[in-house]
Amino acid sequence: MTKQEQDRVLIFDTTLRDGEQSPGATMTHAEKLEIASLLDDMGVDIIEAGFPIASEGDFAAVSEIAKQTQNAVICGLARAQFGDIDRCWEAVKHAKRPRIHTFIGTSPLHRAIPNLDMDQMAERIHETVTHARNLCDNVQWSPMDATRTELDYLYRVVEIAIKAGATTINIPDTVGYTAPRESADLIRKLIENVPGADEVIFATHCHNDLGMATANSLAAVEAGARQIECTINGLGERAGNTALEEVVMALKVRNDIMPYRTGIDSTKIMNISRRVSAVSGFLVQPNKAIVGKNAFAHESGIHQDGMLKNAETFEIMRPEDVGLTETNIVMGKHSGRAALRSKLEDLGFTLGDNQLKDVFVRFKELADRKKEIYEDDLIALMRTTTDPEEDRIKLVSMHVVCGTEGPNQARMTLEVEGKEHKTEQTGDGPVDAAFNCVKAIVPHNARLQLYQVHAVTEGTDAQATVSVRMEEDGRIVTGQSADTDTVVASVRAYIHALNRLLVRRAKGGTDKREVSYKDVG
């Protein structure tokens, strides 16, 4: 059987909807558009761009993504309510290939939320799917918490949705409860027992609460599902979703036992993984499959010896298959702009002339402090690139005194809206003292939810990448920065988050969704 003769598995990416539900993973409008463009370019079949009824920001993002996307189907989420569905259609109708995705919780626990009995819920499903189909000829329906729904009732409501016009039936394991054998059995039974099942595509949507999301998704495919719902890096609420890179590479590497094909260009995986990590503020764990820093690293002497003799001894896929370049030590202080642009393009970053000028200045500053600049250093450098709109506060200078005796002190000058302000504060450690300086100059009530420091490379001159997450009145913002001085990186990340908070304040919006997914009554 040739690759073209194999069954096609559609990749439905929900990074911008389900992935963004991770606490603190909120992306800006520009970042959502960028990620959508990268998803479209890598060959994702369906992009779930958001939940249009949730907020004005979600609606605007879905609408703009629908207008700009060239190839992928653009999907919006809607509860089983006419208002939600109408709002969803208003957002996605601009797409070349729009889709409405409507859902309702069908398990006993979820039926109790809107206080609907089985017959009332069945009627609601019929009415809302019919309404969606009257607006759009591409309708997806999901029985939320399907894996904990009574099987006979699941048969009944899936049949209703198909008869009402749904073209894709998605079976969600909403709480990551099921196991691979159950996942396969459920899909198989639905296909065998529901009238009209042969006329629609069955999809699988798995959460990773028990660490089985990828296995459950692949088991569902073997049983007849032909759409996998997933996210970049497995981003998602709680323990996350099925990771796109894992299912795509599993189907590619083990095509001998799973003879299915996708339309994904796997060489673009690393670039979008890095970008999603940067904009979401969620770092990828080093031992993460496919995209982790250690995924292609070998330290054991036996492994290294085998790799030198034959890479296939300990690597089941090539680094270049997922977009990793072969060389790592790349540049120094004598490197020019053309070399920097070329290397950044190899890493997946395309820069305009003005962007390159800004990055080149910061690259030279880094090269003066660090003898060898690695790819990870350049990636960290790109993560610190900020939107001009988010540049109201700037660090001008800072001096920190710390040690085992006496209070830790920080003296700081910030430029706020073009004017310089100075202060001196103490704190429980140099970072706390520095943060107190920022707060003294720019008062706020935001709570620091997360402060993380990671070394980018090895050595005492390594850059530190700092991630900060702050929350104020429902607004959640993240900031990132990198520097060879950990305290400087910390302050710049803090200021980055604070700048984003000021933008949110000015716009008067929050990152809280204005409606609840469970509010289906």
Amino acid at position 219, single letter: A
Binding-site residues sit at 18, 205, 207, 241
Opening angle at CA 276, ends 271 and 282, nearest 5: 125
Q: Virtual CA dihedral for 156, 158, 162, 163, nearest 10 degrees? A: 20
DSSP letter (8 states) at residue 403: -
Amino acid at position 402, single letter: C
3-state secondary structure of 34: helix
Binding-site residues for Mn(2+) sit at 18, 205, 207, 241
423-458: burial string, b at 16+ Cβ within 10 Å, e else: eebebeebbebbbbbbbebbeeebeeeeeeeeebbe
Phi, psi of 491 (to 5 degrees): -65, -40
Joined tokens for residue 196: 């009209």
* Secondary structure element (H or E) that encloses residue 480, with its range: strand 475-483
3-state secondary structure of 22: coil
Phi, psi of 168 (to 5 degrees): -130, 130
Neighbouring CB atoms inside 10 A of 117's CB total: 8
Give the integer Cα–Cα distance in Å for 217 and 228.
Answer: 7
Cβ atoms of residues 260 and 218 within 8 Å: no
For 110, 113, 147, the CA distances from 517, given in Å and listed in that order, are 11, 11, 18
DSSP letter (8 states) at residue 97: S
Query: What number of residues does the chain have?
Result: 521
Cβ atoms of residues 437 and 412 within 8 Å: yes
Amino acid at position 447, single letter: R
Joined tokens for residue 153: 């009732």
Give the integer Cα–Cα distance in Å for 65 and 52.
Answer: 12
Cβ atoms of residues 382 and 344 within 8 Å: yes
Q: Could you tell me which of 499, 471, 253, 266 has the C-alpha nearest to residue 389?
A: 499
Amino acid at position 467, single letter: S
